Amino acid sequence: MSPGVDDAGRSVIGGVELELFRRGHGAPAIVLHGFEPIDPAAPFIACLAMRYDVLLPSHPGFGRSPRPQHFDSIYDLVRLYLDLIDALPAAKVPLIGFSFGGWLAAEIACICGDRLGKLILVDPVGIKISDRETPDILDCFDTSPVEVLRRSWHDPRHAPDFDAMSDEELMLHARNREALCLYAWHPYLHNPKLRHWLGRIVTPTLILWGESDGIVSQSYGKAFSSLIPGSRFELIEMAGHHPQIEKPGLCAERVLAFLDGSEEMPRAR
């Protein structure tokens, strides 16, 4: 049975209470957010919801999802979303992950590729490609906010305006940062072993990359793609680390074209 969602957008998955929004109709598709939850009214989600029943959870500790005390690693999130996938009646479910959520989606695909219809990773983090002394991912916690802003966006006018936020919105933003630190501080935003497991992914995979992303570079994205058998790498022009916000129509167009097209399954290694 598909997971139920109440009027406040709450659901229970595997005994864990979760903020979970559903938008649209059709076959289910799961969207995993990055550093911040995605607004369920965002244009990108609206485009997807025209063709799919979009499930949009907030990871425990993010948004208004409570964090169980025993949740303290990315693997707790992975297991939670395995429960969510198991709760869906569809034989195969598309999985879309952004940034930190792309890391989660890749970990999930390494484990349960038989339940995934297609995999789309948008500017994912999660792997180490350079030597120990070379940073692959900008340290967003130890870099000046001005520099993080510059590196995150093609056009900084798309960035959130913290001065215009309510006290509640600022508290949720701080909560999101705290949760991200808990799950991904050490090692910073990656699993040292994941790159060695990406070859297990047999799900047709598209990797989308904001052309102006300064959080993780295009070369990082191409290296990520090269480790997933048969994956496709595409750039989204005039977008940074958040193409779903800067170019929602184009991002949704690429996602839907991939979901609706016929892709050959890569051979498992």
User: Percent of the chain beyond pLDDT 70?
Assistant: 94
Q: Which is nearest to 20 in space by CA: 35, 5, 38, 31?
A: 5
Which positions ≥6 away from 51 have C-beta within 8 Å? Answer: 24, 26, 256, 259, 260
Q: What is the pLDDT of residue 10?
A: 87
Which of the 8 DSSP states describes residue 228? S
User: Packing angle between helix 100-112 and helix 74-86, nearest 10 degrees?
Assistant: 60
Which of the 8 DSSP states describes residue 142? S
* 3 state SS for 49-91: HCCCEEEEECCCCCCCCCCCCCCCCHHHHHHHHHHHHHCCCCC
- The verdict on pTM exceeding 0.85 is yes
DSSP 91-121: SSEEEEEETHHHHHHHHHHHHHGGGEEEEEE
CATH number of 10-260: 3.40.50.1820
Q: What is the pLDDT of residue 7?
A: 61
Q: Which is nearest to 253 in space by CA: 264, 267, 239?
A: 239
Provide the Cα torsion 195, 196, 198, 201; round to 10°: -170
Q: What is the pLDDT of residue 266?
A: 46
Domain ranges, ordered by start, for the chain: 10-260
Burial of 68 (0-12, 13-18, 19+ CB in 10 A): middle
What tokens appear for 265 in the block?
């399954």
Give residue-wise pLDDT tens across range 158-205: 999 999 999 999 999 999 999 999 999 989 999 999 999 999 999 999
Residue 58 burial (CB count, 10 A): 23
Give residue-wise pLDDT tens across range 95-143: 999 999 999 999 999 999 889 999 999 999 999 999 888 999 999 999 9
Could you list the beta-strand ranges (E) of 186-248: 205-210, 232-236
CA distance 179 to 185: 10
Q: How large is the average pLDDT for residues 225-235?
A: 97
Report the number of secondary-structure helices (H) and strands (E) in the chain: 9, 8
